[in-house]
Amino acid sequence: MDNEAAFDKFKSCTVEVLQVKPEQVTPDARFADDLDADSLDLVELVMALEEAFDITVDESELEGVETVEQAFSLISSKL
């Protein structure tokens, strides 16, 4: 899967789980501040991404992931 396609897929998961508009999902968007995501939202998002990309994300890997770019980076590293 190429990077753009992966980001589109990542974006649509984010839009669906966090109930935000696609335009809001920019690389520097912060989950908590900009996308209004609480901790449960993030758990849901990780689960949705795991399913969509057929990967597993360890709890420890989520440490310090605060922006869309950081999250996408983590996902891409597993593809």
Partner 1 sequence: MTGSSLERVVLVTGGSRGIGLACARHFLALGDRVAVTYRSTPPPAEDERLMALTCDVTEPDQVEEAFSQVEARWGPVQVLVANAGITRDLLLLRMKEDDWAAVVDTNLSGAWRVAKRAVGPMVRARSGRIVLISSVSGLMGVPGQSNYAAAKAGLVGLGRSLARELASRQVTVNVVAPGVVDTDMLRSLGEARVAEMKALVPLGRVAAPEEVAAAVGFLASTAASYITGAVLAVDGGLGMGL
**Contacting positions for partner 1 (CB under 8 A):** 38, 40, 44, 47
Q: 52: which 2 tokens?
A: 């969509």
Crossing angle (nearest 10°) for helices 39-53 and 3-18: 140
Of 8, 33, 36, 38, catalytic: 38
- With respect to partner 1, which residue has the nearer C-beta, 7 or 37? 37
Does the annotation count 28 as an active-site position?
Answer: no
Considering the complex, what minimum distance in angstroms separates the CB of residue 53 from partner 1? 17
Query: Side chain identity at 15, as an amino acid letter?
Result: V
- With respect to partner 1, which residue has the nearer C-beta, 32 or 47? 47
Ranges of H-type helices in the chain: 3-18, 39-53, 68-76
Annotated active-site positions, please? 38
